[in-house]
Structure 1
Amino acid sequence: MPRRSSNRLDTIEYIGPRPVKPQKRPNFLGGWVVLLIAAGAAYFFGKDIWVAQAQQVTPTSERAVALISELQPSANPGERLAAAALQRAQAQVSYEDAYYAIPYPNGDIPLDKGRAEDLLVRSYRAALGIDLQTLVHEDMSEHFSEYPQIFSRKTADANIDHRLTPNLQRFFRRMGAEISVADDSGQELPSRVAADYLPGDVVAWRLPGGRSHIGIIVPGPGDRRAEPWVVHNRDAGPVWENCLFDSKITGHYRFFGKKAEKAKPQS
């Protein structure tokens, strides 16, 4: 019977030795390249982690005590003021912005309560014997129209005037203690250069939402001593932290009790 044709190819039987697959030569160079890349990556990322850890110097109580003992005996009033602010940062104080009827002069609300302005007032009294309650009240009593008209009041109030940041800013400005720099257009603004801020300087900010805030410049902890850190009380009690440029600065002042000509940053 004739064999039918098929479109399929018939299997061809192979007779002979089994084919041997050629073996690749080991690539020793490729292995070393991989190892070198891995080592380089480990060094690069490890170095970044080490640097980050080295920069994370925490503001501990022990570092605060060491810095206070160094600054307190200083002949520089700014350093003594910074020491007093650091002492305030060690106190247990709950945030309080209520109105209090307090004595005059040298009046204060309960010591376990306070806000940013109270920290400032207490630091000035402790370090320099300067009573901002008295100074602000006396100046406002004589020049009330020169101050922000807060709460639509018509006269000065020794219970609260020194506890409001806008009043403190106006007082420092009137005392010639404001420090500013001129931008390209000639407008004078607070500096954005860290070196222009010295221990004991007072800084005011505009917080998100428009609220005014104020604090004192102090040295940083440990190896970061040359950096301008801040002691302030922003809703959660006094703290020592690196936050100078976190919010918009609206004022920079250097006041040690005497009226002076307009201050400028020190070079």
Structure 2
Amino acid sequence: MLAKFSLLFLLAATSLPAQTGEKLVTSARKQVGVTQYYDPMYRTLDFPNGDVPADRGVCTDVIIRAMRDALAKDLQQLVNQDMRANFSAYPKNWGLSKTDKNIDHRRVPNLRTYFKRKGYDVPLGKDKDPAKFLPGDIVTCTVPPNLPHIMLVSDKKTDAGVPLVIHNIGMGAKEEDCLFGYPLTGHYRVK
């Protein structure tokens, strides 16, 4: 009886990341055709659950909206809380001496730090093995010359088996083949 229960628990636990990933992909895909512009303008946002207009945003907004819609996780509030409690753990790229609830969650280096602190990081190997990237995984990269970028791994793949990504790299939310188009800097799986 105990062995049967353990097996059922193990099966349920291993399917949770898959269900989370599917939800994230579905939510991110809903942004394609809605978010049509790349707009990095600083804005004062409501708090919590603040957002820029749905027709615009940056790469981080794809992730923020997907997590809010699919998992009821408000990265604006979560990142703000963690940064307030652990400010020294976060990058100082912007010369800030305190948190800013309007922008902190919309910065890729801050999301990388938050995801790692929450235990979402997946080892990033040197090889480009598409099998290591599951639907709903979040990946970060550097767009030359040095721009941080973030993308969500799709459940759709190229003919070669490489997962597509859903992101906003300049022309609104798109689902396209560019997982390995830029040097990867992080790989995360939300639990």
The residue aligned with 1:110 is: 53
The residue aligned with 2:4 is: none
Residues 60 and 106, structure 2, Cα contact 8 Å, conserved in 1:
yes
Number of paired residues? 175
Alpha-carbon distance change, 114 to 125 in structure 1, aligned in 2, over 3 angstroms: same
Match among 88, 111, 117 for residue 168 of structure 1: 111
Alpha-carbon distance change, 191 to 199 in structure 1, aligned in 2, over 3 angstroms: farther
C-alpha deviation, 1:110, in angstroms: 1.3
The residue aligned with 1:207 is: 143
1:148 aligns with 2:91: yes
Identity of aligned residues (%): 37
Q: Distance in 2 between matches of 1:210 and 1:143?
A: 26
1:234 aligns with 2:169: yes
Residues 35 and 57, structure 2, Cα contact 8 Å, conserved in 1:
no
The residue aligned with 1:245 is: 180
Greater Rg over alpha carbons, structure: 1
Q: Distance in 2 between matches of 1:196 and 1:175?
A: 20
Matched position secondary structure for 2:113: helix
The residue aligned with 2:62 is: 119
Residues 207 and 213, structure 1, Cα contact 8 Å, conserved in 2:
yes
- TM-score with structure 2 setting the length: 0.86
Which one-letter code corresponds to 2:156 in the other structure? G
Stretches of structure 2 that go unaligned for 5 or more consecutive residues are 1-16
CA RMSD, 1 decimal: 1.9
Residues 31 and 173, structure 2, Cα contact 8 Å, conserved in 1:
yes
The residue aligned with 1:185 is: none
**Mapping 1:1-267, distance limit 5 Å:** 76-181=19-124, 189=125, 192-220=128-156, 224=159, 227-256=162-191
Q: Distance in 2 between matches of 1:190 and 1:215?
A: 18
Residues 34 and 54, structure 2, Cα contact 8 Å, conserved in 1:
no
Q: Distance in 1 between matches of 2:42 and 2:111?
A: 17
C-alpha deviation, 1:165, in angstroms: 0.2
Deviation readout 1:109-146 (Å, 9 max, x if unpaired): 11111010111101111111110111100000000010
The residue aligned with 2:3 is: none
Q: Distance in 2 between matches of 1:92 and 1:206?
A: 22
C-alpha deviation, 1:226, in angstroms: 5.6
Stretches of structure 1 that go unaligned for 5 or more consecutive residues are 1-73, 182-188, 257-267
Q: Distance in 2 between matches of 1:90 and 1:81?
A: 17
Return the structure number with greater strand share. 2
C-alpha deviation, 1:178, in angstroms: 0.5
Alpha-carbon distance change, 92 to 155 in structure 1, aligned in 2, over 3 angstroms: closer
- TM-score with structure 1 setting the length: 0.62
Alpha-carbon distance change, 245 to 174 in structure 1, aligned in 2, over 3 angstroms: same
Q: Distance in 2 between matches of 1:176 and 1:142?
A: 17
Alpha-carbon distance change, 225 to 231 in structure 1, aligned in 2, over 3 angstroms: farther
Residues 217 and 228, structure 1, Cα contact 8 Å, conserved in 2:
yes
C-alpha deviation, 1:89, in angstroms: 1.6
Which one-letter code corresponds to 1:212 in the other structure? P
C-alpha deviation, 1:150, in angstroms: 2.5
Residues 23 and 136, structure 2, Cα contact 8 Å, conserved in 1:
yes
